[in-house]
A and B are shown apart, each in its own frame.
Chain A
């Protein structure tokens, strides 16, 4: 069964600290992996998208990595800010009919001052 598992479920860090969020998937065959940020009460916003051949991609203080062999991805946030408080969702797309994306349940990050 195609699944996307994220860990931890929630995380609290101090402003200015770094953190890493994890995503493991079982989707096969694989097309691409995306990380979204979702602020409370808003729709998800794309941070990065990586294909099979890419193993790292950055977007400002956000850096995503992908290991297609182990089917793992991580999202590293550097020098966290209060505005980073949000849910971070890992989404995997498989090479299959239709447009189905497999969504993880998200990691809720709280950045405190």
Chain B
């Protein structure tokens, strides 16, 4: 998975609790992304980062926040998890916006 790890790989939580997912890369790629994948939908972009402390919203950013304090780490936070945020979350990295994106192994999140 191109030097990308995600943690945790699986998580079950309750509605209303905060959740943080971590993406860690060893490739020194500038761009990092968070996607969610749901049945019947293509991968959808939540947030992305184009450098340390530089982030922007994607297509489905409501209810999510991100932070990038180091090149190698990109955190996705659900401030107050809802059942609609049950999904598989993928982190991806790329050298720049036009280059190939490499995906991590995914995190399966269940919100009860």
Contacts and interface: CB of A to CB of B under 8 A. Distances in A.
Which range holds the interface residue count of chain B?
A: 20 to 34
Of the candidates B43, B48, B50, the one having the most CB atoms from chain A within 10 angstroms of its own CB is: B43
B43 A44 contact: yes
A42 B105 CA distance: 5
A46 B56 contact: no
A100 B59 contact: yes
Interface in B40-79: 40-45, 48, 50, 56, 58-59
B98 A101 contact: no
A105 B40 contact: yes
A60 interface: no
Contact of B100 (A34, A43, A102): A34
Contact of A99 (B43, B44, B97, B104): B97
The 3 closest A-B pairs by CB, nearest first: A103-B42, A43-B103, A103-B43
Interface of B: 1, 4, 31, 33, 40-45, 48, 50, 56, 58-59, 90, 92, 94, 97-98, 100-106
